[in-house]
Structure 1
Amino acid sequence: MTASDPTVTDDESDLTWPVREGAVHEPRRAVWALVEVVAAALLLWLAVWLWGEGVDTVGGVRDRPDLTIERYQGGWIGASVAVATLALILVLDALRQLILAVRSRSK
């Protein structure tokens, strides 16, 4: 190699690692996780209420008093499933927020 070879060493490179401006460890994320858990509990209560509204007991069978006929209304049941799914997503995000709240990164 001669001195005129265009080789780049680590000291001469312009490539640097990106610097994070904020820390990952933010305790206020735990408060946000608590808010999401409360919201998920309210949504779960709403899902149970919607499910109850979607089930109608039509009547019983004359010869078999132990049998009852129930009719399911798709709109109410579908709304219940959608709200329960949203509550599950909020719980998963609350877990993520809690992990980010207590996690520390070594330097």
Structure 2
Amino acid sequence: MSTPQTSEPEAVGLGWPDPTGGLNRPRRAVAAAVELVLVGALVWFALWAYDRGTVQLAPVAERPDLDFQHFAGNWIGISVAAGTLAALLLLDAGRQLALAVRTRSRRA
């Protein structure tokens, strides 16, 4: 008995892609610098919003040692959102800097 000859079609384009360029992009450092400036502005804004969201109330005459504050939820929420966005931008700035300074591939 003979085994039937099966011919599989050759898959075109399923090999490893040709490297078109390295990850080293010095322009990414400029993007990281812009993001760091935005992080500074967002941290300042978060602190400003938090300060605006906390209101010192008048002390009670019988208990002057007690300190009362009123927290406005909308300003505190804006402050937390700005801080979170600043943290995400800081992580992305670190990623951009890591990609900007990578100088050679592993094949070299």
TM-score range, shorter-chain basis? 0.7 to 0.9
What CA deviation, in whole Å up to 9, does each residue of 1:42-76 have, x standing for no partner? 00000000000000111102122222210000000
Q: What residue is the counterpart of 1:35 in the other structure?
A: 34
| Between structures 1 and 2, the one with greater strand share | 1
How far, CA to CA, are the matches of 2:49 and 2:11 in structure 1? 62
Unaligned runs of 5+ in 1: none
Q: CA deviation at 1:40?
A: 0.4
Task: Give the CA deviation at 1:27.
Answer: 1.1
Aligned residue pairs: how many?
Answer: 102
Alignment partner of 1:105 is 2:88: no
* 2-structure distance, mates of 1:101, 1:25: 5
Is residue 79 of structure 2 the alignment partner of residue 77 of structure 1?
no
Deviation at 1:34, TM superposition (A): 1.1
For 2:89 and 2:36, the matched residues in 1 are separated by 7
Give the aligned partner of residue 48 of structure 1. Answer: 47
User: What RMSD, in angstroms, separates the aligned Cα atoms of the two structures?
Assistant: 2.1
> Under a length normalisation based on structure 2, what TM-score does the superposition of the two structures give?
0.82
Mapped partners of 1:17, 1:6: distance in 2? 26
Distance 1:52 1:34 in 2: 27
Offset at 1:5?
5.1
What residue identity is the alignment partner of 1:69? F
- Percent sequence identity is 45
Unaligned runs of 5+ in 2: none
Query: What is the TM-score when the length of structure 1 is the normalising length?
Result: 0.83
CA distance in 1, matches of 2:58, 2:19: 65
